[in-house]
Structure 1
Amino acid sequence: MDKRGAQGREERFGVKKDWLRDTTVLWSFAGGFGQMMFGFSRVMGRKRVLQELSGARDGLFSLLDENLMLSILDKLQDYEDRQAWCLVCKRFLAVEASSRKSVRLLRVEVVENVLRRYRYVEELDLSRCAQVDDETLESIGNLTGNNLRSLNLTHSGKFSENGLLSLVKLCPSLQLLDLSYCSQIGDLCMVAIAQLAKLETLSLFNCRNITDAGLGCIAAGCKNLRYLNLRWCLGVSDTGISLISNNCKQLETVDLSFTEVTAQGLASIAVLQNLKNLFLDSCSGVDDAGLACLQKLQKSLLVLDVARCQDVTDKGLMTLASDRAPLQKLCLSYCLPITDGLLARLEKLKSLQVIRLDGCVIAGVGLASIGKGWKALREFSVSKVRGVTDGQIRSVVERCRNLQDLDFTCCRELTDLAITSVAACCKNLRSLKMESCSLVTDKGLALLGSNCTALEVVDFTDCNITDEGLKHLAACTGLRTLKLGYCLNITDKGIKYIASRCNNLREIDLYRSVEVGDSAVSSLAYGCPRLRSINLSYCTKITDASLHSISKLRDLTQLEVRACSLLTSAGFVSIAGGCRKLLELDIKRCTSVDDNALLAIAYGCPNLREVNLSYCRITDIGLMAIARLSFIQNLKLLHLKGVSLDGLVEALFSSGALRKVKLLSSLRMVLSGLTTQAVESRGCRLRWMDKPES
């Protein structure tokens, strides 16, 4: 066998030579064939080996019981493993197709072919397909029919009420419909949706053309609703909310954030005896009188968010705090001064698991007095609260020892003593965020690394830590997200400590950590093969060698290398060859990058969604290569001296998927009004920016 051909197939299908592992699966053959043992982890995808074992195209696999095959398939959780399963033989492919209930697509053009193959799909996610139109919705209805239970159309801006009407007639069993950010839909679409009598979940996040009339239609037809998201639906008032409340008695979750709801609307919501989750973020009409109306929900309400409700005071919140209230999550961020009296009253909430006080002014004794009654507390957030001290944090963690998530972002008075207290008391800590706590040093991380080994998320952005601190932190081998931006004292040595032990790392942020170089990036690419997001912006020491290392990360979806002036097009050719799953790329101020890089990226990374090309030395050719990508939705195009006006206009019209483009304000006077109007009519928002040239 040609070794080069075998190697090529291994690279194509992600096959590694060590695929035979300790795991074993018992294969049972009906009709007296007995049992056979195969060691496997990724054995299902090794078509060549399995064909040799079977001696025929489908061989002994044709004798396998289908239920047994389905049982084995259920144990393959990794996407690539399941893809490899389909390569074994036609029997395996057919079994996988018959079992697939959920599909998420990136390209609207393949919808029909995919649904013809997977005839039993119940959940369809088209949130990445920006060009879903009426014809597509009708095809979905014809191919899925009564099987379809869930449909996600987030950011899809091309369909109308006619397409929705066709869909709901053909798919009457729909239970979940997500229309978030579908800015084109209005009350006529609600008339169509009202025909879905079985609908339980409806998200209309940021659908600003919907009014009370549309909600009235939903209320009349969708009486089984349990979840309703009206966040940023600016045309909704108390009247529409009242119609929903009076007709949809099964509602459990309602999001009215950024709407004009007042006490009158909350009074109607109070009749929903099953309501568990209520979100009122930034509702300027909500006040103490409105909260008083919610007293009727004390026995059912589990989550309450009144962040940024400026007219809510401690008096209003006290009416909701009682020994019998089962409230588990309370968000009071940026909404009122927190008094000792309110904190004392909140202590009665024995079931409280999450409390967020971000940006609040905490008066009196404050945090030092809380926690005695919150034995179940899991998450505590005081981000951007001034005056938080080590002693206050010690008091909280000593009383609430089951804490798993802590957010102390911008609590600038905290020192290593706070971390020492956390490490001593919170053995099950999963997330610790201490961005801009500049008094934190390596000393605090020593105890954290030894006591809190279950940590998964850590943010020490702009903290005074060094390589020695990272050596201690590396003991937290389960880390998945690590943010070390603006840590000016960490070097390649410290990053190597992390890479050698934290092999499950998915995201690392080294923004402006200027001492980090190629050696650190190489160690990350080798030691953390599951990395999906890397931020190396302003790490000016890195070269194309770093990009070559990063190209080995097959799962990478986000790469930021802003202002890394030593990077050239050759490095991005490597990225294009290896990181085919890349969705977001930021190369702003990479002044040595030219059209060759973009041509390679456009060819090798066809799924790109967002690209920042500002200040790059590219021409119309490079810009067009990116603009013509099928999925490109967000472009930042500031100070592109090599791009002509005609090239820019052509790029704006090249992709129907574009949703947002940043341009210099000076171009606003140059581009014709008809051009900008035509672009925006396609669902693309133009943001005009004033940015210096240098």
Structure 2
Amino acid sequence: MASLELPYEVLVHLFKYLSHSDRKSASETCRAWYLAANDYCFLKKKVLVFFKTDLHGDYLPLQIIEDSIVPYENFVFREIDISSKINRFWNKIGDNIKVLTIQKCDIHERGINYILQRCTNLEMLNIQNCKELFMSGCLLEHSESWLVNSFRNLKSLNLSENKYITDALFYRFVKAAPELEHLCLSLCPLQFHGGFIKKFYPKTDYIFQNPSECVFTFYFVMQYIASRVRKIRRLEFSNTLIDGAALKSLAEIEDLKLDSLQLSTCDQLTNAGIIALTTHQQSLRELNIALCTRVTDQSLKYICDNLINLECLNIQRCRAVSNLGVSELHKLKKLKKLNIAQCELITKDGIEQGLCKEENLILEELDLNSLNLHQNCVIMISEKLPNLTYLNLSFCFNAVTDTSVQVIFKNQVHLKTLKITYCDKVSDAGLTGMGKVEAVGNAEGPVMSSYNEMIAPNRIHLGSRAEEEIIRDARRKRDVMRMCENLTMDSYTGYSLGQLKSLRKLNISGCNRITDVSLTYAFSFKELKSLDLSRCQQITVDGIQHLVKNCPSIEYLDLTDCYNLKDDAVIEIVKGFKRLQHLYLRGCNQLTNKTLEAIREHCKVLKVLDIQGCLNISVELACAIGSLPTLHTVLMSKPGTCYITDGVKNRSPVPPTIPSLLRKLQL
């Protein structure tokens, strides 16, 4: 029977319902599907990343792009050497590029000049942490004749982390971009003291005629913003020394109407600046003041009273914020994303009066990481905020229990991301729903019934408390396994993790009561992309076999310190997860060279591999596996050396006793 060929438009419409990974896999089926999966509606969101890649050898990575029939628009070059040897690439592809990002690259003035002359349709330009590029002060000198043509459509400019930038260098970029809407200067050496104005700009009427080549002043940036006040909508000054007076001056610029302002980790920021901001910039839809230690309840009250159009608010680790300020959050009727993580003074009372005063169908993302909450608070949140797609309850030791997760599985059916890191009160009973759920009196939520987890009352246990806990865990695992095996409609009265059919990312790191039982009976997600099972030390190959079978789309898998895993478990993983890109096996000290042989044979798209602390794996073979075409990062260590996490050295993995100690401190 001849195969049915669907029209191009129908294929494109169908592919809109697929995730990026699914579209990529579908595009490899045939040429018609390849073209449909690379339609412009998808192409403008696709990013080509060149990370630690040698572009000067045989030119193969760039030649593939040059010869492709698909006109790619978004390019990221990170930690590579960009020289004149690849000029042919810019000559051929430059006109197609609309978004260009250059991060931590070895590139000089002549090279960036050549690139920008060829990229004549840029809409976004990011040049981050390229200190050699700005060091001489000659960047874009004598570029007026051609830069205007290249920047005529530029709407977003990111110059963050460039410590040698000056007023003159900054102005060479922005003066040629009449349509600029977004400006990011985070981690730049902005100077805010008034003495710089007197020294370098004694005649402020002619500030743009002679910008300083010595310093980068906030005064100059503010004058530029005032000159383009009709266009500028989004600003980022995170990790700078901006204070209340500077923010007040910025907010009071006449006719300025900001949509977004990022001020994360600005230690000098005060309530006075926030109050002025909320008074004059009431059009704000996004505000980030995370880690601003001087922000208090007063600021939050003004935010809730004046910024009625706010959709995203981040006050993470604003430790002076308490229930008094959080109770005002119910006034933000359009709020979709909220981060109040690590605000230690916030408790159930503030959340009840603010977020949960009435049912909220608007809020989609909520981060409560490290708050001192009770399980009743989580139950209340799950009942009042039914449309959450992102929920972070990591380190909420007392709040996340078998009871509260059952209510989450019942009500938060739209969740795409769930994080309960180190919430080690959660067990198989909670994830599988095998604990009986009962309504007790006027209680705020269901209660998990006991299931033979206590030691028989007529027996006297002579072992230590740790041994007693091990016995309880073993009995708990046995009882839940029996209930799962004898599952009937009458016995299944709880809610399984499997209720969350939309789940894309799950983090249960440090939940050491999770065993193979949960992996066998609760994990069935066709679209789960990211899974963190690190320090879930009871997991073995039996659970991994079911995980591979029921969650085929996993791309990111963290099994750090799961020391019961052996080579056979990793072999199951690399054979079953065809899309696996990040695999972390740190501390799995039973693994041998068989693991690397299986990875080399079966992993076709793996990018990152962490085998630090795997003492039975030879260094020579680990180095050899780096020859895999897609693999760009292999983390390994010899006995006694440091671990590396996100570029930071750690002498040892997190001890398993730390979570319990932290929980005791919370109590």
Q: Could you tell me which amino acid in structure 1 is paired with residue 93 of structure 2?
A: T
Match of 2:440 in 1: none
User: Which consecutive unaligned segments of at least 5 residues does structure 1 have?
Assistant: 1-51, 55-59, 248-258, 475-487, 642-661, 666-684
Match of 2:391 in 1: 432
Superposed displacement of residue 300, structure 1: 0.7
The question of 1:533 aligning with 2:489 is answered no
The question of 1:591 aligning with 2:530 is answered no
Superposed displacement of residue 395, structure 1: 1.0
Tell me the SS of whatever aligns to 1:559: strand
1:200-222: CA deviation from partner (whole Å, max 9, x where unpaired) = 33333434454444323213433
> Hey, what's the Cα distance between the residues in 2 that align with 1:97 and 1:509?
32
CA RMSD of aligned residues (A): 4.4
> Hey, what's the Cα distance between the residues in 2 that align with 1:372 and 1:95?
44
Q: 2:364 aligns with which of 404, 416, 423?
A: 404
Q: 2:258 aligns with which of 276, 301, 310?
A: 301
User: Alpha carbons of 1:139 and 1:294: their partners in 2 closer, same or farther (altered >3 Å)?
Assistant: same
User: Alpha carbons of 1:625 and 1:118: their partners in 2 closer, same or farther (altered >3 Å)?
Assistant: same
Q: How does 1:547-586 map to 2 (within 5 A)?
A: 547-552=544-549, 553-586=551-584
Match of 1:419 in 2: 378
> Hey, what's the Cα distance between the residues in 1 that align with 2:223 and 2:175?
20
Q: 1:172 aligns with which of 98, 120, 139?
A: 120
User: Alpha carbons of 1:296 and 1:394: their partners in 2 closer, same or farther (altered >3 Å)?
Assistant: same
Q: How does 1:640-659 map to 2 (within 5 A)?
A: 640=639
User: Alpha carbons of 1:363 and 1:183: their partners in 2 closer, same or farther (altered >3 Å)?
Assistant: closer
Tell me the SS of whatever aligns to 1:53: coil
Match of 1:367 in 2: 325
Tell me the SS of whatever aligns to 1:125: strand
1:25-66: CA deviation from partner (whole Å, max 9, x where unpaired) = xxxxxxxxxxxxxxxxxxxxxxxxxxx516xxxxx96xx9xx
Match of 1:256 in 2: none
Q: Could you tell me which amino acid in structure 2 is paired with residue 544 of structure 1?
A: V
Q: Could you tell me which amino acid in structure 1 is paired with residue 584 of structure 2?
A: D
> Hey, what's the Cα distance between the residues in 2 that align with 1:338 and 1:586?
38
Match of 1:623 in 2: 622
Superposed displacement of residue 319, structure 1: 2.0
The question of 1:148 aligning with 2:97 is answered yes
Q: 2:514 aligns with which of 513, 516, 531?
A: 516
Q: How does 1:347-386 map to 2 (within 5 A)?
A: 347-362=305-320, 366-367=324-325, 370-371=328-329, 373-386=331-344
Tell me the SS of whatever aligns to 2:252: helix
User: Alpha carbons of 1:345 and 1:538: their partners in 2 closer, same or farther (altered >3 Å)?
Assistant: closer
The question of 1:76 aligning with 2:15 is answered yes
Q: How does 1:212-611 map to 2 (within 5 A)?
A: 212-234=167-189, 262=218, 265-266=221-222, 268-273=224-229, 274-296=231-253, 300-322=257-279, 325-339=282-296, 341-346=298-303, 347-362=305-320, 366-367=324-325, 370-371=328-329, 373-399=331-357, 401=360, 402-412=362-372, 414-440=373-399, 441-445=401-405, 447-463=407-423, 464-467=425-428, 469-470=430-431, 498=496, 500-523=498-521, 527-552=524-549, 553-611=551-609
Superposed displacement of residue 121, structure 1: 0.7
CA contact under 8 A between 1:354 and 1:379: conserved in structure 2? yes
Match of 2:444 in 1: none
> Hey, what's the Cα distance between the residues in 2 that align with 1:93 and 1:453?
33
User: Alpha carbons of 1:540 and 1:122: their partners in 2 closer, same or farther (altered >3 Å)?
Assistant: closer
Name whichever of 443-452 and 509-518 sits farther off.
Answer: 443-452
> Hey, what's the Cα distance between the residues in 2 that align with 1:386 and 1:693?
23
Q: Could you tell me which amino acid in structure 2 is paired with residue 214 of structure 1?
A: L
Match of 2:75 in 1: 125
Q: What's the TM-score, normalizing by structure 2?
A: 0.71
CA contact under 8 A between 1:141 and 1:170: conserved in structure 2? yes
Higher relative contact order (CA 8 A, sep 6+): 2
CA contact under 8 A between 2:268 and 2:294: conserved in structure 1? no
1:470-489: CA deviation from partner (whole Å, max 9, x where unpaired) = 46799xxxxxxxxxxxxx97
CA contact under 8 A between 2:593 and 2:618: conserved in structure 1? yes
CA contact under 8 A between 2:432 and 2:522: conserved in structure 1? no
User: Alpha carbons of 1:83 and 1:568: their partners in 2 closer, same or farther (altered >3 Å)?
Assistant: closer
> Hey, what's the Cα distance between the residues in 1 that align with 2:256 and 2:552?
49
Equivalent pairs: percent with the same residue? Answer: 18
Tell me the SS of whatever aligns to 2:115: helix
> Hey, what's the Cα distance between the residues in 1 that align with 2:220 and 2:110?
35
User: Alpha carbons of 1:611 and 1:543: their partners in 2 closer, same or farther (altered >3 Å)?
Assistant: same
Superposed displacement of residue 323, structure 1: 8.3
User: Which consecutive unaligned segments of at least 5 residues does structure 2 have?
Assistant: 209-214, 436-471, 485-494, 656-667
> Hey, what's the Cα distance between the residues in 1 that align with 2:71 and 2:574?
33
CA contact under 8 A between 1:130 and 1:631: conserved in structure 2? no
Tell me the SS of whatever aligns to 1:225: coil
Tell me the SS of whatever aligns to 1:531: coil
Q: Report the count of equivalent residues.
A: 564
Q: Could you tell me which amino acid in structure 2 is paired with residue 439 of structure 1?
A: N
> Hey, what's the Cα distance between the residues in 1 that align with 2:647 and 2:296?
44
Superposed displacement of residue 131, structure 1: 4.4
Superposed displacement of residue 566, structure 1: 2.8
